[in-house]
């Protein structure tokens, strides 16, 4: 999968309500785009991530006809949103608090009135992805989810905060991290709300030594436009979600964490043994730029690359 393709189609309106001929245009979830102050969308394989934010005290209608798109989970980032959902001849008002969730099956018609402000992170999953997760976890099929409207889920609340940060700073986002966020959210959705018995969960599985070596080689070779997690998992005859769990069970790291650690170790070696500028080391170790390298190195090591280099040379001088 191409790096730019994985980042997907990004649509944003951050500076206020738009005007003009397209002001009444609806987005793929049925919202009027001109009423959104933040409108972000990121496509990544089996997932589509959204952030929809409105700061106007207005009421609007959302209508989407039934389709085979799959499932959608929405997580509220704030308090105070109200939504009247119509089904048949009945309607029910729901009050959303921070970390409240709702789940939609796109096979059903959806109609709702949105009242006031809101800020949601949403993830759309393909039917095939949910079916694969359900089969791998429980050996069963899954037709839908059982969750109360506006149910609070602190795990989804935390993941939504991470996803919101990722969508807002997508140029720093690793494709591996984006894929793993989708897998993590989908797995929790199936395990918590899919209704399958816990005793049916498949036993943990580690990668074979051959598959571990192959996966690590492909991860280290991964550059923009090269192997995606789908391709790496396929080379091990596993689905993407199963591969991520098996890799974590084998290495005690997610693929994203493992790759970052390897890049930082490579950077330490270059800082210790060369006089290359930080910008060149950043590129050589697979970081987007020097700023990305410095932030990641500082977070994982506890000091900046420049300080680490100076401290290391100071210790050598003392000896």
Tell which wins on pLDDT, 316 or 164: 164
Kindly indicate the confidence band of residue 199, based on its pLDDT and cuts at 50, 70 and 90.
Answer: very low
Over residues 193-210, mean pLDDT: 63
Give the burial class of 113: count Cβ atoms within 10 A of its Cβ; 0-12 exposed, 13-18 middle, 19 or more buried.
middle
Please determine, for residue 100, whether its predicted confidence score (pLDDT) is greater than 60: yes
Tell which wins on pLDDT, 263 or 174: 263
Residues 163 and 121: beta-carbon distance below 8 Å: yes
pTM as predicted: 0.60
Task: For residue 140, give the nearest of 131, 148, 150 by alpha carbon.
Answer: 131
Over residues 208-227, mean pLDDT: 80
Q: Which CATH superfamily is domain 3-193 in?
A: Jelly Rolls (2.60.120.10)
Task: For residue 28, give the nearest of 40, 18, 19 by alpha carbon.
Answer: 40
CATH topology of 3-193 equal to that of 263-318?
Answer: no
Over residues 187-197, mean pLDDT: 78
| Strands 71-76 and 118-125, bridge-based pairing | antiparallel
Would you state the pLDDT for residue 139? 65
Q: How many whole angstroms separate alpha carbon 34 and alpha carbon 258?
A: 42
Would you state the pLDDT for residue 12? 41
Task: For residue 41, give the nearest of 55, 28, 30 by alpha carbon.
Answer: 28
* String of DSSP letters for the chain: --HHHHH-------SS---STTTT-B-TTS-BGGG-SEEEEEEETTEEEEEEEE-S--EEEEEE---SS-EEEEEESSS-EEEEEEETTEEEEEEE-TTEEEEEETTS-EEEEEES-EEEEEEEE-HHHHHHHHHHHHSS--------TTEE-HHHHHHHHHHHHHHHTGGG--HHHHHHHHHHHHHHHHHHHS---GGGPPPP-PPPHHHHHHHHHHHHT--TTS--HHHHHHHTT--HHHHHHHHHHHHSS-HHHHHHHHHHHHHHHHHHH----HHHHHHHTT-SSHHHHHHHHHHHHSS-HHHHHHHHHHHHHH-
Residues 115 and 59: beta-carbon distance below 8 Å: yes
Residue 187: CB partners within 8 Å, gap ≥ 6?
133, 137, 241
For the stretch 127-141, pLDDT in tens is 878 887 877 766 666
What average pLDDT does the chain have? 82
- Cα R_g (the chain), whole angstroms: 22
Tell me how far the alpha carbon of residue 102 is from its chain's centroid: 17
Would you state the pLDDT for residue 23? 45
For the stretch 57-98, pLDDT in tens is 899 889 888 887 889 999 999 999 999 998 877 888 999 999
Please determine, for residue 45, whether its predicted confidence score (pLDDT) is greater than 60: yes
Please determine, for residue 198, whether its predicted confidence score (pLDDT) is greater than 60: no
Neighbours of 311 (CB within 10 A): 11
Q: Where are the domains of the chain?
A: 3-193, 203-252, 263-318
Q: How many whole angstroms separate alpha carbon 74 and alpha carbon 94?
A: 14
Would you state the pLDDT for residue 13? 41
Q: How many whole angstroms separate alpha carbon 10 and alpha carbon 53?
A: 15
CATH tag, 263-318: 1.10.10.60
């Amino acid at each position: 999968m191409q790096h730019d393709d994985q980042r997907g189609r990004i649509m944003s309106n951050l500076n206020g309500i738009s005007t003009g001929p397209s002001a009444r245009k609806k987005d793929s979830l049925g919202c009027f785009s001109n009423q959104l102050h933040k409108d972000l969308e990121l496509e990544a394989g089996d997932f589509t991530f959204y952030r929809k934010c409105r700061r106007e005290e207005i009421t609007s209608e959302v209508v989407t006809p039934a389709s085979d798109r799959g499932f959608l989970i929405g997580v509220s980032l704030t308090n105070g949103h109200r939504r009247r959902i119509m089904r048949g001849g009945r309607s029910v008002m729901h009050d959303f608090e921070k970390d409240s969730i709702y789940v939609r099956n796109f096979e059903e018609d959806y109609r709702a009135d949105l009242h006031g402000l809101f800020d949601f992170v949403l993830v759309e999953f393909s039917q095939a992805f949910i079916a694969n997760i359900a089969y791998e976890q429980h050996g069963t099929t899954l037709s839908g989810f059982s969750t109360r409207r506006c149910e609070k889920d602190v795990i989804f609340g935390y993941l939504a905060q991470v996803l919101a940060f990722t969508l807002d700073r997508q140029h720093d986002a690793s494709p591996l991290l984006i894929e793993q966020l989708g897998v993590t959210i989908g797995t929790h959705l199936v395990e918590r709300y899919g209704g399958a018995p816990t005793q049916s969960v498949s036993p943990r599985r580690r990668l074979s030594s051959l598959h571990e070596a192959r996966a690590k080689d492909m991860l280290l070779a991964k550059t923009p436009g090269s192997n995606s997690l789908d391709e790496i998992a396929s080379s091990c005859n596993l689905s993407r979600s199963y591969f991520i769990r098996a890799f974590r069970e084998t290495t005690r790291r997610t693929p994203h964490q493992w790759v970052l650690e390897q890049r930082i170790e490579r950077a330490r070696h270059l800082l210790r043994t060369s006089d290359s500028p930080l910008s060149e080391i950043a590129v050589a170790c697979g970081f987007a730029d020097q700023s990305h390298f410095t932030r990641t190195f500082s977070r994982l090591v506890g000091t900046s690359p420049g300080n680490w280099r100076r401290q290391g040379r100071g210790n050598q001088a003392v000896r």
